[in-house]
Chains A and B, each alone.
Chain A
Amino acid sequence: MSFHPKMAYDATFHKSSRTLADPGPPFTFTPERRARLDEVLTRYPPDRKRSAVLPALYLAQQQHGYITGNAMRHIAEILEITPADVEDVVSYYTMFYTKPVGRFVLNVCRTLSCALNGAERVTEELCAKLHIKPGETDTSGTFTLVEVECLGACDRAPVVMVNDAWHECVSPESVGHMLDSLRTRGESALTGCHLAVEKR
Chain B
Amino acid sequence: MIEVVDTVTLTLDGRQITVEKGKTVLQAALEHGVSLPYYCYHPGIGIDGSCRVCIVKIEKMPKLQTSCSTVCTDGMVVDTQSPDVHAARAGVFEFLLINHPLDCPVCDKGGECPLQDFSYTFGPDNSRMEFPRRVFDGEGVKADVDFGPTLMLNRNRCIMCTRCVRFMGLVDGDAQIGVINRGNGSEIGTFNDEGVHSLMSGNLVDVCPVGAITTRDYRFKSRPWDNPSVTDTICTQCSKGCNTTAWLKAKPEWAKGSSLIRFTPRFNADVNQYWMCDIGRFNYRWVEGDDRLRAPLVRDAQGTQQRASWADLMPKLRDRLAQAGQSSPDGVKFLVSAHASNEELFLFRRLTEELLGPSGPSTITVSWRVTPKQQPPRTTFKVPAVDAPNVNGARAFGLVTGAVGDPQGPSNVGALQAAVAAGSVTALFVFDPGPDGTLGDSQWLLDARAAGQLPLLIVQGVLMTSLAKAADFVLPGASFVEKDASYTNDQGWLQATSRALATPGDAREDWQILVDLASGLGVQLGYTSAATVRGDIAARMGGAVGLVGIEGLAFASTMSARTWLQASNPSERWKWDFMYQDLPPVKGAVEPSSLPPPPGLIPLKEVK
Contact = CB atoms under 8 A, between A and B. Distances in A.
Given A10-B137, A18-B187, A87 B178 contact: yes
Interface residues of B, number: 32
A6 B102 CA distance: 14
Contacts of B179: 88, 92
Interface in A8-55: 8-18, 20-21, 23
B3 interface: no
Given A7-B132, A12-B132, A91 B192 contact: no
A6 B136 contact: no
A82 B176 contact: yes
B185 interface: yes
B191 A87 contact: yes
Given A7-B129, A91-B182, A92-B181, A14 B176 contact: no
A69 B141 CA distance: 21
A83 B132 contact: no
A20 B268 CA distance: 40
A71 to B, nearest CB: 12
Interface in B156-180: 174-180
B132 A8 contact: yes
Contacts of A8: 132
Contact of B175 (A10, A23, A72, A82): A82
A4 B190 CA distance: 32
Contacts of B103: 3
A117 B182 CA distance: 27
A84 B132 contact: no
A148 interface: no
Nearest to B178: A88
B182 A82 contact: no
B177 A84 contact: yes
B181 A84 contact: no
Contacts, number: 86
B456 to A, nearest CB: 56
Contact of A18 (B102, B134, B135, B189): B189
B19 to A, nearest CB: 33
Given A82-B191, A88-B180, A14 B135 contact: yes
Contacts of A88: 178-180
A50 to B, nearest CB: 10
Interface string B340-367: 0000000000000000000000000000
B582 interface: no
B160 to A, nearest CB: 13
Nearest to B145: A16
Interface string A100-127: 0000000000000000000000000000
Most buried by B among A14, A21, A91: A14
B99 to A, nearest CB: 9
Contact of B133 (A9, A15, A23): A9
Contacts of B132: 7-9, 11-12, 14
Nearest to B105: A3
B333 interface: no
Nearest to A82: B175
B312 interface: no
Contact of A7 (B133, B181, B182, B191): B133
6 closest cross-chain pairs (CB), A and B = A13-B138, A88-B178, A83-B191, A84-B178, A84-B191, A14-B134
Given A16-B187, A84-B190, 19 more contacts: A4-B102, A7-B132, A7-B133, A9-B133, A10-B135, A10-B137, A12-B132, A14-B138, A16-B181, A18-B181, A20-B193, A21-B191, A23-B192, A69-B191, A82-B178, A84-B175, A84-B189, A85-B178, A91-B180
